[in-house]
């Protein structure tokens, strides 16, 4: 019986030493943290005739409660996971970059939308 316990002890120590090799060095409470971003409006490639456009969408995932969103570098309030801001366009092609971050999320999801402003004549 003593040899069995000794063998089980050795196997236990070997498996503990092997944990870092399997990717378990990231604590489980961090590895499950997610943050995703979805821009609902405007759609990429949209052409408009007004000089302002509303950029709106939402954040989701386990980190959405602490998410911060920026649109072209400007902070946008997030309420119940949703955000919305009016963006002033210049004539021609406008690239709008939306980024979501949280205090715990390692990756910052982003989305780029291109909008063309052609003034009404």
pTM listed for this prediction: 0.71
pLDDT digits (tens, 9 = 90+) for 84-101: 999 999 999 999 999 999
- The Cβ-side half-sphere exposure at 6, using a 13 Å CA radius, reads 3
Distances (CA, A) of 63 to 22, 75, 96, 102, 114: 25, 17, 23, 6, 27
Q: Which of 15-19, 66-70, 82-86 has the lowest mean pLDDT?
A: 15-19
Farthest-apart Cα atoms in the chain, separation: 93
């Amino acid at each position: 019986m003593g040899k069995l316990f000794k063998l089980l002890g050795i196997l236990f120590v070997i498996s503990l030493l092997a944990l870092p090799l399997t990717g378990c060095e990231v604590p489980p409470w961090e590895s499950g943290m997610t943050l995703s971003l979805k821009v609902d409006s405007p759609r990429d490639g949209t052409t408009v005739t007004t000089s302002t456009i509303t950029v709106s969408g939402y954040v989701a995932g386990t980190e959405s409660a602490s998410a911060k969103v920026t649109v072209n570098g400007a902070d946008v309030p997030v309420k119940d996971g949703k955000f919305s801001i009016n963006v002033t366009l210049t004539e021609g092609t406008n690239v709008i970059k939306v980024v979501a971050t949280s205090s715990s999320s390692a990756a910052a999801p982003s989305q780029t939308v291109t909008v063309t402003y052609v003034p009404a004549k």
